[in-house]
Structure 1
Amino acid sequence: MTEQPQYSGGFQNAPIQAARAFRAAMTVMARPGEIRELNGSRPPDPLSIAAGTLLLTLCDPETKVHLAGAVNTDAAREWLTFHTGAPLAQAADADFAVGRWAELGSLGTYRIGTAEYPDRSATLIVECDELQQAGAELSGPGIKGTAQLFLPDVPALQANAALYPLGCDFFFTSGDRVAALPRSTRISMET
């Protein structure tokens, strides 16, 4: 009997793989611009291994997820629901949103937190063709001097950072690699 796609592709050794994935996710969030390997899942296409692993690690039945554009497939919805129990949501209500930059839509659609609860904001998992430590210059907490990361829309991300302590946080994924950009990071372009 063949296993149904929504039942396969999860962690084979959940305690160990989830712990490693959580450590990698927190490391890149603490060190903006750093690129790390992140694997352990085999999500349905077109979700990348890194995006799927983030979803398995960070989502649960209390976490609302928005799947945008090409990743919003029956297979992805069923896989996510089976493995995490996370309910699907519209962008404005999401705790996490996943998709390519152009498909995620305006950042103004997502929750940015409130003065009392800045942590009640969305985290966007942006699927990319590749991750490069080149392009935008990053500075701020967790960065010794400066770091570089290619970003899909520098002006939009600068506007998000200007909202700090409010704003969205970002993971960028490609294949089995991940980088992060917390809202506290200052972004400039090389001259």
Structure 2
Amino acid sequence: MALAPGLRDPVHDAQGVFRAVMDALARPGRVQALAVALAPPAPLTPELAAVALTLADADAPLWLDAPLAARPEVAAFLRFHTGAPVVADPVEAAFALVADPARCPDFSDFAQGTPAYPDRSATLVLGLDRLSEESGLVLEGPGLRGRARLSAAPLPPDFAARLSANHARFPLGIDLLLAAPGRLAGLPRSTRATEG
């Protein structure tokens, strides 16, 4: 099985993706540009692949949702380019890649951190079709001046309730990165989200 190439310029491309991820988490709901030139094995999107290739490593295990796990070439691509182990149990993952976000497992299935080490929680990266600031969820909290709006699809029907339950666990809980074609937004656990 031939492996698809990774980032064309690993240092500079990873720096650009890392900046987009940090900006997305520092400014919840603000859509960041995420220009990547990747052709990973389907159903892994270029955006999911770029985030994984930038953040995952031998000490940051990956969990793949059912559509991604069903394709051995996806795990092979990620292992080769990141050195990260791919784990079967979501609670063991530092990063979870979700190609079918409408069927994303409950957030409580993933590592929540501990009171002494809240940073030992998972970051979920959801591959979406659409992402904009025009309407949708109303966001408040650190990194926001007043309120922000975020519209994303597809998502689980109880997504807003999941975000509320996640925020209630703060400083524990998971962080989210929402990746759509050419775009990225972050929803850290410190963000309060309500239906718009």
Q: State the TM-score bracket (shorter-chain normalisation).
A: over 0.9
3-state DSSP of counterpart to 1:45: coil
Shift of 1:116: 0.4
Deviations 1:40-80 (A, max 9, x none): 43321111211110000001111110000212211110100
5+ residue gaps in structure 2?
none
Q: Where in structure 2 are the equivalents of 1:72-151 lying within 5 Å?
A: 72=69, 73-89=71-87, 90-99=89-98, 100-133=100-133, 134-150=135-151
TM-score (normalised: structure 1) = 0.92
1:169 corresponds to which residue?
175
Q: Tell me if structure 2 keeps the 8 A contact 1:69–1:104.
A: no
Is residue 178 from structure 1 mapped to residue 176 from structure 2 by the alignment? no
How many angstroms apart in 2 are the aligned matches of 1:41 and 1:31?
26
Q: Over aligned residues, Cα RMSD in angstroms?
A: 1.4
How many angstroms apart in 2 are the aligned matches of 1:150 and 1:159?
19
5+ residue gaps in structure 1?
none
How many angstroms apart in 2 are the aligned matches of 1:40 and 1:63?
23
Which of 32, 35, 40 aligns to 1:36? It is 32
How many angstroms apart in 1 are the aligned matches of 2:168 and 2:136?
19
Deviations 1:89-145 (A, max 9, x none): 121111111112243311111111111000000000111121122211001111111
Q: Say which structure is richer in strand.
A: 2
Which of 8, 12, 27 aligns to 1:16? It is 12
How many angstroms apart in 2 are the aligned matches of 1:45 and 1:127?
12
Matched pairs, number = 186
3-state DSSP of counterpart to 1:132: strand
Identity of aligned residues (%): 36
Query: Structure 1 residues 40 and 23, CA, compared in 2 at 3 Å: closer, same or farther?
Result: farther
Higher mean Cα deviation, 114-123 or 142-151? Answer: 142-151
